[in-house]
Chain A
Amino acid sequence: MMNTSSLSQKRTPKSILRFAAPQMFYPLAGTLAPWCAGIAAVLTVIGLYIGFFVAPTDFQQGEVYRVIFIHVPAAWMSMLIYLAMAFWAAVGLVLNTRMSFIMTQALAPTGAMFCFLALWTGALWGKPTWGTYWVWDARLTSQLLLLFLYLGFMALTQAIEDQRRADRAGAIIALVGAVNVPIIYFSVQWWNTLHQGASVTPTGSSMASTMLAGMLVMAIASWAYTFAVVFWRVRSLILERERHTDWVGAEIDAQEGRS
């Protein structure tokens, strides 16, 4: 019944930890999201320009290698986002902070999307380079299993109606998955080398510096994109979860007045 959030706000005036409160994080996310989206857009344009107009043709693979500018960043992001999810899941379970669970759930769909993109672009890259859309290579297989982990997490949190239980169950499966990811990778690598002999490796060993530059710019762009989308998703989640509070009511009134 009491407006507790304003009390805690007074107690911790300038600490960064005040953003652990949904009420404080909501406006911050709202301010940051458009900036992140803008940075992502600008960097994407720069990265694609470098990728398509500056980077030379790969002497082994020809033009196909240009898939790398989305393939590698997507693969990186899919793994990083899973780690971030596991991190927030652990924080949520240990410290019992509401924002952590919101973060975990806001990250998952974007991670799954990057995971799928890494697989899709990998398949399209593999066809002309290896002669097949799919090989049961260690990296591809682990990526596929990572996608299943993402789907499992999202399916579980969607299936549980009770908010509290959904948060915690999701956090547990995210952590269990994170513990298993290295084991899966190791086992798949072992299995792959036993069965297939020399595994296929994409990209020539010598990468032109402009290729690398394009890839890195695109990687930073996908970071920025992830931040933007996650911030937007977090804002919706916060509104839904904090709908009983005064400040959300005020926020909704303000939104209504604007539209």
Chain B
Amino acid sequence: MNGLLGPFVAVLRRDLMLAWRGRADVLVTLAFFIVVVCLFPFGIGPETNQLRAIAPGVLWVAALLSTLLSLHRLFAQDHADGTLEQLLLSPEPTALWVVAKVSAHWIVTGLPLVVAAPGLALLFDVEQEALGVLTLSLALGSPILALLGAVGAALTLGLRGGGVLLALLVLPLFVPVLIFGAGAVDAHLSGTGAAAQLLLLGGGLLGALALTPFACAAALRIAVE
């Protein structure tokens, strides 16, 4: 176990450090999230009841788009400077450091969204008791988005027009996460309780954690060879 933990932590720490050096890039994702969320009232109108009703969906769609925006960065830098090939040649299992890289990516781009979401929800006058469910649903759901997105990012690595292609590839796959994520908050607000949705999101996270790293590893090997 320790033998696997070492390289995992090494890759994780390296990616976090790189992200820290390029802080501005990271903040762009968060800023995008905030701006998108704030655009909706302008499009829909300032009526509080309506805004309250759409808030979970808006926050979730915005989180999904922000995730998408940052995905191409997941492997691009390492691909450009050859690190990726070195990692693929290393004896450590590919799926392991893929998870490490995705974890680092999520900590850098996903976690800020989770933290910012309750504050933004207040702009939509969401009841305070639902904020916990919203945060939890994003905390469980956004790592799934990152894991699924990693497969798309690996497949489109280095392609011209890769960003748009990546969106086309992964957005249909994001739909179940969106449904259960936004649905959790809705269910909580309507009184039915969000346990089912949250459990499904948790199960989805475990499933994605078990399967996508291998798909991602295979895609990376194909892209680099």
Spell out A's residues near B (CB within 8 Å).
Answer: 93, 145, 148-149, 151-152, 155-156, 159-160, 164-165, 168-169, 172-173, 175-177, 179-180, 183-184, 186-188, 190-191, 194
Contact B176 A159 (CB under 8 A): no
Contact B215 A176 (CB under 8 A): yes
Tally of contact residues, B, Cβ under 8 A: 29
Contact A194 B176 (CB under 8 A): no
Given A159-B161, A159-B165; A187-B222 close (CB under 8 Å): no
Q: Which chain B residues (199-225) contact chain A, with CB distance < 8 Å?
A: 204, 211, 215, 218-219, 222-223, 225
Q: Give Cα A149–Cα B174 distance, bound, in whole angstroms.
A: 12
Contact with A along B139-165 (1 / 0, CB 8 A): 000000000000110011001111001
Contact B176 A169 (CB under 8 A): no
Q: Give Cα A217–Cα B143 distance, bound, in whole angstroms.
A: 47
- Among B155, B176, B215, the residue within 8 A (CB) of A156 is B155
Contact B179 A191 (CB under 8 A): yes
- Among B173, B187, B218, B225, the residue within 8 A (CB) of A172 is B218
- Chain A interface helix/strand/loop/mixed: helix
Contact A145 B172 (CB under 8 A): yes
Spell out B's residues near A (CB within 8 Å).
Answer: 151-152, 155-156, 159-162, 165, 168-169, 171-173, 175-176, 179-180, 183, 186-187, 204, 211, 215, 218-219, 222-223, 225
Could you say which residues of chain B place their CB within 8 Å of the CB of A190? Answer: 179-180, 183
Contact A180 B172 (CB under 8 A): yes
Distance in Å: Cβ of B26 to nearest Cβ of chain A: 27
Residue of A nearest to B186 (CB): A194
Contact B165 A156 (CB under 8 A): yes
Q: Give Cα A148–Cα B186 distance, bound, in whole angstroms.
A: 27
- Among A148, A169, A175, the residue within 8 A (CB) of B168 is A148
Given A187-B180, A191-B179, A194-B187; A172-B159 close (CB under 8 Å): no
Contact A148 B172 (CB under 8 A): yes
Contact B175 A187 (CB under 8 A): yes
Q: Give Cα A202–Cα B160 distance, bound, in whole angstroms.
A: 43
Could you say which residues of chain B place their CB within 8 Å of the CB of A156? Answer: 155-156, 165, 169
Could you say which residues of chain B place their CB within 8 Å of the CB of A176? Answer: 151, 173, 215
Could you say which residues of chain B place their CB within 8 Å of the CB of A168? Answer: 218, 222
Residue of A nearest to B160 (CB): A159
Q: Which of B155, B211, B218, B219 counts the most A-chain CB atoms under 10 A from its CB? A: B155
Distance in Å: Cβ of A217 to nearest Cβ of chain B: 33
Residue of A nearest to B162 (CB): A159
Contact A155 B172 (CB under 8 A): no
Could you give 16 example pairs across A and B, Cβ below 8 Å?
A: A145-B172, A148-B171, A148-B172, A152-B169, A155-B169, A159-B160, A159-B165, A165-B222, A168-B218, A168-B222, A172-B218, A172-B222, A173-B152, A176-B173, A176-B215, A180-B173
A156-B156, A156-B169, A177-B172 known; 8 other A-B pairs, CB under 8 Å?
Answer: A148-B171, A148-B172, A152-B169, A159-B159, A168-B222, A173-B152, A180-B173, A190-B180
Distance in Å: Cβ of B74 to nearest Cβ of chain A: 16
Could you say which residues of chain A place their CB within 8 Å of the CB of B218? Answer: 93, 168, 172
Contact A173 B169 (CB under 8 A): yes
Q: Which of B162, B187, B218 counts the most A-chain CB atoms under 10 A from its CB? A: B218
Q: Give Cα A175–Cα B173 distance, bound, in whole angstroms.
A: 12
Contact A173 B155 (CB under 8 A): yes
Distance in Å: Cβ of B170 to nearest Cβ of chain A: 8
Q: Give Cα A175–Cα B151 distance, bound, in whole angstroms.
A: 12
